[in-house]
Structure 1
Amino acid sequence: MSQIKNANGFCSASISASSHGFGVNAKRAAIRAMIRLTTKFNNNVTNTITKICATHSSKIANQDDHSV
């Protein structure tokens, strides 16, 4: 959850900086940073879900093997 809060805080700070006339480069940098943060967060979530599913599948497979 701290990742989300950090990302949100950073995004809002970047947006306010760019809207106060810090220029196009600042705006572009802010957008790139937001995309990086979002991608990194999504990858972490996806990896975690994949691991949980893999673990769960192997447990089910093992149970099936034992029950035969």
Structure 2
Amino acid sequence: MAKLYLIEAVLPLGIIAAMLCVMGNAQYRIHKAVHGRPKHPGNDVWDVAMERRDKKLLEQHSASSKM
């Protein structure tokens, strides 16, 4: 009888864990499909500003090297 209680407890926990994995994976895939690259964890305002600056510098460099 004790094994029945274990199965009753483990089954819902397994379903919850599986759904958390599915949702995390879906979030990763959707973000990658929309933005073309995986999400950088811990990306704050400073990181966004540096990405914009780097993109602007690369555009300026490519424009100046074409001349």
- The normalised TM-score by structure 2 is 0.51
- Alignment pair present for 1:62 and 2:30: yes
- Residue identity opposite 2:34 in structure 1: H
Match for residue 56 of structure 2? none
- Inter-partner Cα distance in structure 2 for 1:57 and 1:37: 31
Q: Which has the larger radius of gyration?
A: 2
Q: Choose from 41, 47, 57 the match for 2:9.
A: 41
Which protein has the bigger helix share? 1
Moved over 3 A (4+): none
Query: Over the residues paired in the alignment, what is the CA RMSD in angstroms?
Result: 0.7
- The normalised TM-score by structure 1 is 0.50
| Structure 2: segments with no counterpart, 5+ residues | 37-67
Q: CA deviation at 1:40?
A: 1.1
Q: Choose from 10, 18, 21 the match for 1:53.
A: 21
Structure possessing the higher relative contact order (Cα contacts under 8 Å, 6 or more residues apart): 1
